[in-house]
Every structure is written in structure tokens, then in C-alpha cells.
Amino acid sequence: MSQYPPAQGTPVPEPSVRVLPVVDGAQPERADAARNRARLLEAASRLVAEHGAGHVTMEAVAAAASVGKGTVFRRFGDRAGLMRALLDHAEQEYQKAFLFGPAPLGPGAPAAERLEAFGIATLRHLETYVDLYLASERCPTRRYSFPARAVQATHVAALLRQAGVTGDVELLTQALLGYLDAGLVNHLRTVRRLPAERVEAGWKDLVARVVREGH
């Protein structure tokens, strides 16, 4: 078994260059810090691939990286932070795709179509990374305040407005994103055994209903 994100080229995400917000006015990391971050991400990624995100302990990651446990927490804050760091690279690709990629996902297509495509892309992205998302959501309430979620929300809200939707766009956005929640999708796919196509069709239907004209 290899790295977790099944990508080949770049083995491990860097200190992160976010697609949208984040003004990192921080000075560069010290050499040992950078080295340990890399080691940790590599080790974590390998362990997650081997045992699944849910069965990897922080201690194990530290040991596999030949680093003290304290260092793991210093670098990533907490378990969820480490998991998010593992997602970072894939998430940036995903964000790039819907922000700047080719239509209909990226700019160029009518808003309603982009919205459809956005959901499908998200569902497929989740298909690969659900367990990582679930593991990165341990925090009960902060699930909704992450940068990644903010990017999604901004995007969906913009598309809704472009599509001429009137009403409380912000709340409609939350409703739509609710359907793309990792926990829900996981439940539908894993517990309820719904085929991916059906869940995707469900998204298209939902979007159609929300966007439909006659405000």
C-alpha cells in the first residue's frame, strides 16, 4: 500500500497555500520544524492508508515519524487538524476545479449547471475521502466554521445569486450544503447502500427545485 491520497506526483502537502482566504503573515518555519512536519504527514498518510483514518492514533503517527507526541500536537493542533492537513492537497485540487477549472464545473457555464456540477464534483470528492472528512470533523460544532466550508458556501451562494434566485440565499446555501455533508453522504452510501447515481440524481433534483424560476 502507498500514500493515502492516491495521487502520485507530490508525495505530501506543503505548509499550505490556500486557494481562497488565509493571509499567512507568518515567518517561515525553522528547518527542524519543516522536516518534522513532512515526516509526520508522510507517516500519517501511510498509516491512514494502511489502517483507515479511524484507526490511527496520534501516538502511532508520532512513533512512525520518530518524533515526540508533543510535536504532533504542536504542528497540527489536534487530531482533526492532522486529518485536515492530509486532505489539504486534494482539497485544493477540488477547489481549483470548481473555481477556475473548465466548464461546466468552472466558469463559463450557466450558474444552474455549474451548481449541479459542483454537487456532483463534491460527491465524487467525498467518495474518495469520506473517512478523512469524518475523522476531521470530530469537533462537534466547528464542523461549520472551517475555511473549506466557507469556500464552498461562498461559491454556492454566488452561483445561486447568478442563477437569479431570490430569497435568503445564505440559508438556501446552508440547506444545499447540508445535502453534501460527509456524515450524511456516508450514511446514504454506506448504511443505506444507495448507489452513487441515485445520490447524484437527488442533488440535481434538489438544485432544480431550489433554483427553479418564479422565485
Partner DNA sequence: AATGAAAGTGGACCAGAGTCCGTTTGACGT
Partner DNA sequence: ACGTCAAACGGACTCTGGTCCACTTTCATT
Segment contacting DNA by CB under 7 A, of 71-79, 87-95, 109-117, 182-190: 71-79
The cell numbers describing 208, all together, are 432544480
Contact 159, 152 (CB under 8 A): no
Segment contacting DNA by CB under 7 A, of 41-49, 78-86, 98-106, 160-168: 78-86
- % helix, strand, coil for the chain, step of 5: 65, 0, 35
Q: At closest approach, how far in Å is the CB of 119 from DNA?
A: 31
Per CB under 8 A, 59 contacts a copy of itself = no
Q: Write the CA distances from 97 to 86, 92, 122, 153, 185, integer angstroms.
A: 19, 8, 10, 15, 21
Residue 128 interacts with, from a copy of itself, DNA, none (CB under 5-8 Å by kind): none
Per CB under 7 A, 186 contacts DNA = no
Residue 193 interacts with, from DNA, a copy of itself, none (CB under 5-8 Å by kind): none
Between 111 and 140, how does the x/- string for binding to DNA read (CB under 7 A)? ---------------------------x--
Residue 104's identity, in one-letter code, is P
Which of residues 18, 69, 149, 204 is near DNA by CB under 7 A?
Answer: 69
Contact 145, 161 (CB under 8 A): no
Residue 174 phi/psi, 5° resolution?
A: -60, -40
Nearest to 131 by CA among 199, 188, 83: 83
Which of residues 35, 96, 168, 195 is near a copy of itself by CB under 8 A?
Answer: 168
One-letter-per-residue 3-state SS of 6-23: CCCCCCCCCCCCCCCCCC
Interacting positions 139-158 with a copy of itself (CB under 8 A): 140-141, 143-145
CA distance 93 to 89: 7
**Which residues form the interface with a copy of itself (CB under 8 A)?**
134-135, 137-138, 140-141, 143-145, 167-168, 171-172, 174-175, 178-179, 181, 183-184, 186-188, 190-191, 194, 198-199, 201-202, 205-206, 209-210, 212
